[in-house]
Protein backbone atom coordinates (compact mmCIF):
# COMPACT_ATOMS: atom_id res chain seq x y z
CA UNK A 1 0.00 0.00 0.00
CA UNK A 2 2.77 2.44 0.94
CA UNK A 3 4.71 1.56 -2.20
CA UNK A 4 1.78 2.36 -4.48
CA UNK A 5 0.87 5.51 -2.57
CA UNK A 6 4.36 6.85 -3.20
CA UNK A 7 4.33 5.82 -6.86
CA UNK A 8 0.89 7.35 -7.47
CA UNK A 9 1.49 10.54 -5.50
CA UNK A 10 -0.88 9.46 -2.77
CA UNK A 11 -0.71 9.57 0.99
CA UNK A 12 -0.52 6.39 3.07
CA UNK A 13 -1.13 6.55 6.81
CA UNK A 14 -1.89 4.04 9.53
CA UNK A 15 -4.50 4.25 12.25
CA UNK A 16 -3.80 2.20 15.34
CA UNK A 17 -6.79 0.98 17.31
CA UNK A 18 -7.03 2.74 20.66
CA UNK A 19 -6.61 -0.47 22.68
CA UNK A 20 -3.52 -1.88 20.99
CA UNK A 21 0.14 -0.95 20.82
CA UNK A 22 0.96 2.42 22.37
CA UNK A 23 -2.57 3.77 21.92
CA UNK A 24 -4.06 2.77 25.26
CA UNK A 25 -6.56 5.54 26.03
CA UNK A 26 -6.01 5.66 29.80
CA UNK A 27 -2.46 4.32 30.00
CA UNK A 28 -1.51 0.71 30.76
CA UNK A 29 -2.86 0.68 34.32
CA UNK A 30 -6.38 2.03 33.71
CA UNK A 31 -7.18 0.94 30.14
CA UNK A 32 -7.44 -2.74 31.03
CA UNK A 33 -10.19 -2.27 33.62
CA UNK A 34 -13.94 -2.77 33.44
CA UNK A 35 -14.39 1.00 33.27
CA UNK A 36 -11.69 1.31 30.60
CA UNK A 37 -13.30 -1.36 28.43
CA UNK A 38 -16.52 0.68 28.33
CA UNK A 39 -15.14 2.53 25.31
CA UNK A 40 -14.05 -0.58 23.40
CA UNK A 41 -17.03 -0.84 21.06
CA UNK A 42 -17.88 -0.69 17.38
CA UNK A 43 -19.31 2.82 17.51
CA UNK A 44 -16.06 4.20 18.93
CA UNK A 45 -13.91 2.27 16.46
CA UNK A 46 -15.87 3.79 13.59
CA UNK A 47 -15.93 7.27 15.17
CA UNK A 48 -12.15 7.07 15.60
CA UNK A 49 -11.73 6.31 11.89
CA UNK A 50 -14.02 9.18 10.86
CA UNK A 51 -12.22 11.61 13.19
CA UNK A 52 -8.87 10.42 11.89
CA UNK A 53 -9.88 11.17 8.29
CA UNK A 54 -11.29 14.57 9.31
CA UNK A 55 -8.02 15.51 11.04
CA UNK A 56 -6.02 14.37 8.01
CA UNK A 57 -8.14 16.56 5.74
CA UNK A 58 -7.82 19.55 8.09
CA UNK A 59 -4.05 19.30 8.63
CA UNK A 60 -2.69 18.03 5.31
CA UNK A 61 -3.69 20.32 2.42
CA UNK A 62 -3.39 17.65 -0.27
CA UNK A 63 -5.58 15.24 1.72
CA UNK A 64 -8.51 17.64 1.67
CA UNK A 65 -8.55 17.42 -2.13
CA UNK A 66 -8.33 13.62 -2.09
CA UNK A 67 -11.10 11.77 -3.84
CA UNK A 68 -10.64 8.36 -2.20
CA UNK A 69 -9.66 6.80 1.06
CA UNK A 70 -8.73 3.14 1.08
CA UNK A 71 -8.83 1.13 4.29
CA UNK A 72 -6.59 -1.88 4.54
CA UNK A 73 -6.43 -3.66 7.85
CA UNK A 74 -6.55 -7.04 9.44
CA UNK A 75 -9.12 -8.17 11.93
CA UNK A 76 -11.53 -5.89 13.72
CA UNK A 77 -10.92 -2.67 11.81
CA UNK A 78 -11.47 -4.08 8.35
CA UNK A 79 -14.43 -6.18 9.44
CA UNK A 80 -16.00 -3.20 11.19
CA UNK A 81 -15.55 -0.94 8.19
CA UNK A 82 -16.99 -3.54 5.84
CA UNK A 83 -20.05 -4.18 8.00
CA UNK A 84 -20.59 -0.49 8.64
CA UNK A 85 -20.59 0.16 4.89
CA UNK A 86 -22.95 -2.73 4.17
CA UNK A 87 -25.42 -1.72 6.85
CA UNK A 88 -25.42 2.01 6.19
CA UNK A 89 -25.22 1.96 2.42
CA UNK A 90 -26.05 -1.32 0.76
CA UNK A 91 -28.73 -2.84 2.98
CA UNK A 92 -30.33 0.43 4.04
CA UNK A 93 -30.89 1.36 0.38
CA UNK A 94 -32.50 -2.01 -0.33
CA UNK A 95 -34.40 -2.70 2.86
CA UNK A 96 -34.70 -0.73 6.07
CA UNK A 97 -36.03 -3.88 7.75
CA UNK A 98 -32.93 -5.89 6.74
CA UNK A 99 -30.67 -3.08 7.89
CA UNK A 100 -32.44 -2.87 11.26
CA UNK A 101 -32.16 -6.64 11.77
CA UNK A 102 -28.44 -6.56 11.03
CA UNK A 103 -27.93 -3.62 13.39
CA UNK A 104 -29.77 -5.48 16.16
CA UNK A 105 -27.68 -8.59 15.51
CA UNK A 106 -24.45 -6.63 15.68
CA UNK A 107 -25.64 -4.94 18.88
CA UNK A 108 -26.15 -8.39 20.42
CA UNK A 109 -22.68 -9.44 19.30
CA UNK A 110 -21.22 -6.27 20.84
CA UNK A 111 -23.10 -6.95 24.09
CA UNK A 112 -21.69 -10.48 24.25
CA UNK A 113 -18.19 -9.26 23.43
CA UNK A 114 -18.41 -6.70 26.21
CA UNK A 115 -19.64 -9.38 28.60
CA UNK A 116 -16.79 -11.71 27.56
CA UNK A 117 -14.24 -8.91 27.93
CA UNK A 118 -15.48 -8.24 31.46
CA UNK A 119 -15.22 -11.94 32.36
CA UNK A 120 -11.77 -12.16 30.78
CA UNK A 121 -10.61 -9.14 32.74
CA UNK A 122 -11.92 -10.72 35.94
CA UNK A 123 -10.00 -13.94 35.22
CA UNK A 124 -6.83 -11.99 34.42
CA UNK A 125 -7.16 -10.09 37.71
CA UNK A 126 -7.38 -13.37 39.66
CA UNK A 127 -4.37 -14.79 37.83
CA UNK A 128 -2.38 -11.63 38.49
CA UNK A 129 -3.36 -11.70 42.19
CA UNK A 130 -2.11 -15.28 42.51
CA UNK A 131 1.15 -14.41 40.78
CA UNK A 132 1.81 -11.61 43.28
CA UNK A 133 1.36 -13.85 46.33
The range of the structural domain enclosing residue 25 comes to: 2-132
- Dump pLDDT digits (tens) for 20-65: 667 777 887 887 788 877 877 777 777 777 788 888 888 888 777 7
Distance CA 70, CA 78 (A): 11
Percent pLDDT > 90 in the chain is 0
- Dump pLDDT digits (tens) for 98-108: 667 777 777 77
pLDDT of residue 123: 64
Instruction: Evaluate whether 117 touches 41 at the Cβ level (below 8 Å).
Output: no
pLDDT top residue among 111 and 71? 111
Amino acid sequence: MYYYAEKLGGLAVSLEHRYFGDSLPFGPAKSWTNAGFEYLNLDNVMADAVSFIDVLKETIPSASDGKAFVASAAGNSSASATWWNLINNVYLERSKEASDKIRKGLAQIQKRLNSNATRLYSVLQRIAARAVH
